[in-house]
Amino acid sequence: MIRAGVIGATGYAGAELVRILSGHPDAELTILTSRQYAGVRFDSIYPSMSGMVDLVCEEFSPNDVCDRTDVVFTALPHKLPMEIIPELVKRGKRVIDLSADFRFSDVSAYEAFYQPHTAKDMIEKAVYGLCEVYSDKIRPAAVIGNPGCYPTSLLLPLIPLLKSNLADPDTIIADSKSGVSGAGRSPSLATHFCEVHESFKAYKVAEHRHTPEMEEVLSREAEKPVNITFVPHLVPIIRGMLTTTYASLTRKVSPEDIRDCIASFYEGRPFIRLCPDNRMPDTLNVRGTNYCDIGFRIEERNNRLILISAIDNLVKGASGQAVQNMNIMFGTDETAGLAGVPFPL
Amino acid sequence: MIRAGVIGATGYAGAELVRILSGHPDAELTILTSRQYAGVRFDSIYPSMSGMVDLVCEEFSPNDVCDRTDVVFTALPHKLPMEIIPELVKRGKRVIDLSADFRFSDVSAYEAFYQPHTAKDMIEKAVYGLCEVYSDKIRPAAVIGNPGCYPTSLLLPLIPLLKSNLADPDTIIADSKSGVSGAGRSPSLATHFCEVHESFKAYKVAEHRHTPEMEEVLSREAEKPVNITFVPHLVPIIRGMLTTTYASLTRKVSPEDIRDCIASFYEGRPFIRLCPDNRMPDTLNVRGTNYCDIGFRIEERNNRLILISAIDNLVKGASGQAVQNMNIMFGTDETAGLAGVPFPL
Amino acid sequence: MIRAGVIGATGYAGAELVRILSGHPDAELTILTSRQYAGVRFDSIYPSMSGMVDLVCEEFSPNDVCDRTDVVFTALPHKLPMEIIPELVKRGKRVIDLSADFRFSDVSAYEAFYQPHTAKDMIEKAVYGLCEVYSDKIRPAAVIGNPGCYPTSLLLPLIPLLKSNLADPDTIIADSKSGVSGAGRSPSLATHFCEVHESFKAYKVAEHRHTPEMEEVLSREAEKPVNITFVPHLVPIIRGMLTTTYASLTRKVSPEDIRDCIASFYEGRPFIRLCPDNRMPDTLNVRGTNYCDIGFRIEERNNRLILISAIDNLVKGASGQAVQNMNIMFGTDETAGLAGVPFPL
Amino acid sequence: MIRAGVIGATGYAGAELVRILSGHPDAELTILTSRQYAGVRFDSIYPSMSGMVDLVCEEFSPNDVCDRTDVVFTALPHKLPMEIIPELVKRGKRVIDLSADFRFSDVSAYEAFYQPHTAKDMIEKAVYGLCEVYSDKIRPAAVIGNPGCYPTSLLLPLIPLLKSNLADPDTIIADSKSGVSGAGRSPSLATHFCEVHESFKAYKVAEHRHTPEMEEVLSREAEKPVNITFVPHLVPIIRGMLTTTYASLTRKVSPEDIRDCIASFYEGRPFIRLCPDNRMPDTLNVRGTNYCDIGFRIEERNNRLILISAIDNLVKGASGQAVQNMNIMFGTDETAGLAGVPFPL
């Protein structure tokens, strides 16, 4: 059994890690930490799991964590992970970090959008954990920078088309829509039920900090600098993210060409589902799952491709992909712990 | 492996059976029938399950069903089950019926609220499938009348208190609130998003036909005729049912007395969770699960007991309890297929 | 024109007062105060009203308020109003207070559930502003204790039946359900979208402090001490409150008797709507309005009456009734500012 | 008083017309027709308006309608209006049609996306009722083709920028999101609460028939053929539409340039609100109003303009704009009946 710890277990991403790892056939949850809830039973904070999880949250202590784990998931706000991860790695732990701290190869891009980086030498050891694209590098990695939710939803459908030169990298516009759980558990006016329930709006228009994360990966895959336009919106649902991506096609192609391009790129990958032509992705269908559903449409008159992808922002967009990374790193079945049958509604 | 068939697989209760049985370690889904969708792949109707369920819906045929199953779940509107179940039973199949057709011992009560019963001799063979109360009778049963959602949510908290003579059976008022999935998948103005989303209302006030079902069971357990007042309401959530039950106490009791009464009655039963004093049941905590969460408060000045119970109307209130019945009937672990770790939100 | 000020204008009840008073034909909004937003334009906090309201929020100052108003609405948390209202009244202002500070005749009841009262001599001058019941006392009042939302929803349907001795005051159970705006605008986990959106739960079971408020009024009207059982629940809607009240009937009565009792008591009152027999109140139908919709059912077998009432908790349950009180106090049309045609959905 | 009739009064757009016209100071509702509900009181179908609207729905009869109206609103499915409007116009009635039947100048475009047009000679007399752009033509018009909801939300922000040659008409991508009321009142699986409540999805991707409507208007204003890419999505809210439009800028411009362009184009128009730089449109802020809120962002690195507009699809996107058209046609205050103070939430 892989002994797993979750640092920051009581936020939404942390709690989702606890859910998945509690049901994982090859892993055992050994330690949960929480600054706010140290000393409190986890299942009193998330009573849905009463009777399933009996751990008590602890203050973070490197010794305790290292003694009891093989892999550590850090589900903390940006900046905290880079302060604690070097010590964990030095002591031989493998770390999967859900913040942005280890997602960038280019530290200056990170620093432009976040803050000064205090563990620069660790960046080289870190691998961007987009499982379906970088599994070879993930397998031996010491540190995983687990991708952001928006990047996951954009990159998975787009990368095959960029790599095969079907989509023009200079024309990419991504219009994303996220459920409210992406904003985290801390109460704020922005997540107040009454402000959200009958509201739809854009936010951080063309200035969200997931943009440089996406651009670094796209530039790497396109082998040229890629600038995109990215606008996120808030949808009044709990879980779910849908990204509608627009790109000009570089040449005349048929729907079959697009379908083949995506299907062959992801052949054998269990969590990519390509929708049939007569159906488009719906967040409902991926709710609670690690799937990324992908659909597309070619608009011939404008020679544009429209890509649509749906994920659960807390699963494939965060904790599910983190566990998938663990599975790849430890050589277990990639779907272990992530194979529950999805709800019909 | 238990070979299981679902008759009426494309309604919400049917689809939920498909979900649970697809992930059941000791059962195998062998046949799905649907009048409306015969010839159509199930996962094109419920695309969330794409890649997990590859069955095609069929027209119902007694021969096909009997050839390929050990147990048959009928998830049909009232009246249809009593027409087909006798034949299935005659051919040795065990049947779990999710309609009201086989829930009543007293056929006249059924006929007063539903329609003439056409399989009266089968009623004696049928057992009311309230798992935590009647497991001894369920084990050998040929036919299970799977309890209604409202009855499940009322009976589980109330029966222990009636049987121990703590709650006065002449004073019972049950105020229930159900999520919209209880109304089924057929579109109607009553389930139109715009009519429901910012609405809360009562319906079938004191005339819902789950009332006689509850009263028959309560009368049996109290060993005297019990009449209750029952008012259902519609809540704008997909899944979930909360019942607030009011009853006068027969004598002065402490919270510990109530807690002991319920806890000892359900000792060892995996799906009953008694909430701590400082927390009340919330439908969120049972969403997607087979749990029944129970809480209570004694109001001393009026010497009244307030019982609160939460279930997922589609799981413990329908398909989950149905599978739990199957597990009891076939001697497998009672929690098989029902043990997924609940979502934190 | 009546010059009106709102103290605490940026909470939900305050903002609703601003909405109603901005459109009032006989009143003029002259001052808005807010501790948190002093110096900020009101319509930058509530952008829906951009172009309709051009006031800037100010710090509360008794002089400024008294100079510019004829009537003052205090929409503050409990305890603050009793500190400032005596001064306002001394200087001749009429005050409508939306907190509990001036709702009680019996100061000991207030102090048992809230805190020590620091303006006891003002209590005698205060009138409980349940408009349809106490308009004669409201007309000349210096201070109005504007009723709580739950009390309004319970008292309006129940008082006629108590006064006519049809409902037995010893048997009253009120099961209430409130929309989330009742919890106010301050962010908290309890109002976080993700915790509420697919949740239904009870809270403060049999211990909500609106209970003594209801009991004081019921006791006065019944001319004997009345104890009720009251359980509030939280519904995932923004606005709306539905109360289901159960009471034993004192004698055999017909539906017409009940209908006549309520209809004659409220004859000519514009905001009470008695639903036809075939329809029950729905919060959707009173959303954004000052109506209280009332329906009922007699359960003959148990000789119980079931009363159902729906209001918008922010309008009839707070700010709408406050303006209705102003209208009565100042002799304008009782419906002035409250007569907008309701939305169909 | 303008005597107004509503043909098709019981759909959502019809009911919204009834709401607005019932409160209109210069109009009087004289006749409501409904095939489905002939003989039924309107307020029994929409009980929110009980006590405010006392009309009974009638079968449509040209004579009755012509005898009792000065203006007729047709809120019917496509195809029916073109069958009845010619007769009404011949008899001197002015007609505002909420369907697509009279929105197109180019009948072939209509026929390509809808069906053969049976009142082609009437098309010349019809004016596209985009109030803020075509009021001069609207004033004397006999027939108004009231704009679609998506076109309204796209055209209002975009037209000023096209006309001033700031936005490149060859680069327009419109990503729209609509509330569920846009799908109408007829129940269907697509509007079933359980299918929608936790769902977000695109539909009719690049093939929605509002596209040719938008393109005809844009081409006219740009004085060259314009093809756009248009993708609509469904948001789980009742009312509201947000459109995010992307276009390349033709030259380097400042935010002030964009602001000035829009502000000067709509100077003095009461229903256009340009958001300040630090705030973006939110459907919450226009709910129940006739406003179109507009915001924008320039993305300098890609020299792209992002326009965001929010409307209530049932008001500015349908019935509110229809009444605004009536106001313009009859020379009353353009805001009459549409000036209610918006709700804060």
Q: What is the pLDDT of residue C79?
A: 96
pLDDT score recorded for residue B103: 98
Helix (H) or strand (E) segment spanning residue C324 = helix C320-330
Instruction: Give the residue-averaged pLDDT of A153-173.
Output: 98
DSSP A75: -
Handedness of CA D82, D88, D91, D96 (dihedral sign): negative
**Pairwise CA distance, residues A18 & A22, whole Å:** 6
Q: Which residues touch D201 (CB under 8 Å, ≥6 apart)?
A: A242, A280, A281, A282, A283, A284, A310, D233, D234
3-class secondary-structure state, position A90: helix
pTM of the predicted protein model = 0.97
User: What are the distances in angstroms from CA D69 to CA A126, D32, D92?
Assistant: 74, 11, 10
B268 contacts chain D (CB < 8 A): no
**Phi first, then psi: what are they for D228, rounded to 5°?**
-120, 165
The residue to which tokens 């037209």 are assigned: D159
The mean per-residue pLDDT over the stretch C302-329 comes to 98
Q: How many whole angstroms separate alpha carbon B127 and alpha carbon B96? A: 10
Neighbour order of strands in the sheet with D143-145: D27-33, D2-7, D71-74, D94-97, D143-145, D126-128
Q: Is this complex scored with an ipTM above 0.90?
A: yes
CA B91, CA A295: separation in Å to the nearest integer? 46
Give the residue on B whose Cα is nearest the Cα of C248.
B171
Alpha carbon of B195 to those of A76, B127, B181, C332, D122: distances in Å?
A: 41, 38, 14, 35, 37
What does the pLDDT look like over D104-124, one tens digit per residue? 999 999 999 999 999 999 999
**Catalytic: which of D57, D66, D131, D149?**
D149
What is the pLDDT, as a whole number, of residue B263? 98
Residue C217, pLDDT score: 98
Confidence of residue A327 (pLDDT cuts 50, 70, 90): very high
Report the SS3 class of residue D149.
helix
Across the interface, do C304 and B229 touch by the CB < 8 Å criterion? yes
Over chain D (345 residues), what is each successive 10-residue block's mean pLDDT?
98 98 98 98 98 97 98 97 97 98 97 96 96 98 98 98 98 98 97 98 97 98 97 98 98 98 98 97 98 98 97 98 98 97 96
Judge: C344–D49 Cβ closer than 8 Å, yes or no: yes
DSSP string of C200-261? Answer: -EE-STTT-THHHHHHHHHHHHHTS----EEEEEE-SSSS-EEEEEEEEBSS---HHHHHHH
d(CA B245, CA D344): 36
| Cβ-contact B203, B139 below 8 angstroms | no
- Dihedrals φ, ψ of C61, to 5°? -140, 125
State residue A133's pLDDT score. Answer: 98
Per-residue pLDDT, B335? 98
Residue B62: count other Cβ atoms within 10 Å of its Cβ: 14
For the segment C318-322, the average pLDDT, to the nearest whole number, is 98
β-pair type (B241-248, B304-311): antiparallel
Q: Which residues contact B300 (CB under 8 A, 6 or more apart)?
A: none
Task: Flag whether residue D191 sits within 8 Å of chain B, measured between CB atoms.
Answer: yes
- Report how far residue D29's alpha carbon sits from residue D24's, in angstroms, rounded to the nearest whole number: 9
**A187 to C189: CB separation less than 8 angstroms, yes or no:** yes
Structure tokens at B150: 């409202």
| Chain B partners within 8 Å of D238 (Cβ) | 193-194, 197-198
Q: How far apart are CA A294 and CA A308, in angstroms?
A: 6
- Counting beta carbons within 10 angstroms of the beta carbon of residue D335, is it exposed (0 to 12), middle (13 to 18) or buried (19 or more)? middle
Q: What is the pLDDT of residue A56?
A: 98
| Amino acid (one-letter) located at C33 | T
Interface contact flag, D177 A173, Cβ < 8 Å: no
CA nearest neighbour of D299 among B63, A231, B234: A231
Nearest Cα neighbor of D131 from D266, D289, D273 is: D266
Phi-psi region of B223 (alpha: psi -120 to 50; beta: other; left: phi over 0): left
Closest CA to D205 of A293, B287, A299, C174: A299
Alpha helices in D210-300 (DSSP H): 210-222, 255-265
pLDDT at res. C81: 98
How is residue C142 written in tokens? 């210096």
Q: Chain A residues with CB inside 8 Å of C187's CB?
A: 187-189, 191-192
Q: What are A41's two structure tokens?
A: 């039973």
Identity (one letter) of the amino acid at B334?
E
Put simply, whether A285 touches B (Cβ < 8 Å) is yes
Task: Please provide the size of chain A in residues.
Answer: 345
Sequence-ordered alpha helix ranges (H) in chain A = 12-22, 42-45, 62-68, 80-90, 107-113, 120-123, 131-138, 149-163, 193-196, 210-222, 255-265, 320-330
Enter the tokens of residue B206: 């004191």
Residue of A nearest to B16 (CA): A344
Chain D residues closer than 8 Å to C182 by CB: none
Name the residues of A annotated as catalytic: 149
* A136: closest CA of chain D, how far (Å): 33
Ordered mean pLDDT values, 10 residues apiece, chain B (345 residues): 98 98 98 98 98 97 98 97 97 98 97 96 96 98 98 98 98 98 97 98 97 98 97 98 98 98 98 97 98 98 97 98 98 97 96
Both tokens assigned to C48? 């829906």
CB D13 within 8 A of CB D76: no
Nearest of D159, D144, D147, D200 to residue D177 by alpha carbon: D200
From A183, which residue of chain C is nearest by alpha-carbon distance? Answer: C194
Q: What is the C-alpha to C-alpha distance for residues A114 and A127, in angstroms, rounded to an integer?
A: 19
The pLDDT assigned to B173 comes to 98
**For A95-132, how does the pLDDT look when each residue is reduced to its tens digit (9 = 90+)?**
999 999 999 999 999 999 999 999 999 999 999 999 99
**Res D161: pLDDT:** 98
pLDDT confidence tier of residue C310, bands split at 50, 70 and 90: very high
> What are the boundaries of each domain within chain C?
2-147+316-330, 150-313
Task: Report phi then psi at C124, rounded to 5.
Answer: -65, -35
Check if the beta carbon of residue B197 is closer than 8 Å to that of residue D239: no
Residue C68: partners with Cβ closer than 8 Å, 6 or more residues away: C3, C5, C30, C31
Interface residue A39 vs chain B (CB under 8 A): no
CATH number of this structure's domain C2-147+316-330: 3.40.50.720
Chain A nearest CA to C137, separation (Å):
35
Q: Which positions ≥6 away from D118 have C-beta within 8 Å?
A: D82, D83
Structure tokens at C130: 């349940």
Catalytic residue from among C57, C131, C149, C292: C149
Q: Cβ neighbours of residue D276 under 8 Å, at least 6 residues apart? A: C44
pLDDT of residue B144: 98
CATH number 3.20.20.70 given to A150-313:
no
Q: Does C233 touch chain B (CB under 8 A)?
A: yes
Distance in angstroms (rounded) separating the CA atoms of residues D189 and C295: 31
Q: What is the 3-state secondary structure (H, E, C) of chain B?
A: CEEEEEECCCCHHHHHHHHHHHCCCCEEEEEEECCCCCCCEHHHHCHHHCCCCCCECECCCHHHHHHHCCEEEECCCCCHHHHHHHHHHHCCCEEEECCCCCCCCCHHHHHHHCCCCCCHHHHCCEEECCHHHHHHHHCCCCEEECCCHHHHHHHHHHHHHHHCCCECHHHCEEEEEECHHHHCCCCCHHHEHHHHCCCCEECCCCCCCHHHHHHHHHHHHHCCCCCCEEEEEECCCCCCEEEEEEEEECCCCCHHHHHHHHHHHCCCCCCEEECCCCCCCEHHHHCCCCCEEEEEEEECCCCEEEEEEEECCCHHHHHHHHHHHHHHHHCCCCCCCCCCCCCCC
Q: What is the pLDDT of residue D131?
A: 98
Torsion of CA D34, D35, D41, D43, to 10 degrees: -50
User: Catalytic residue numbers of B?
Assistant: 149
Q: Is A52 close to B342, i.e. CB distance below 8 A? A: yes
Report how far residue A114's alpha carbon sits from residue B9's, in angstroms, rounded to the nearest whole number. Answer: 51
CB contact under 8 A, B236 and C236: yes
- Which residues face C241 on adjacent strands? C178, C311
Distance CA D106, CA D113 (A): 12
Which residues partner with B307 through β-bridges?
A: B245, B296
What's phi and psi for C274, nearest 5 deg? -95, 120
Name the CA radius of gyration of chain B, rounded. 20
Give per-residue pLDDT as tens, B165-219. Answer: 999 999 999 999 999 999 999 999 999 999 999 999 999 999 999 999 999 999 9
Percentage of chain A beyond pLDDT 70 is 100
pLDDT confidence tier of residue C25, bands split at 50, 70 and 90: very high
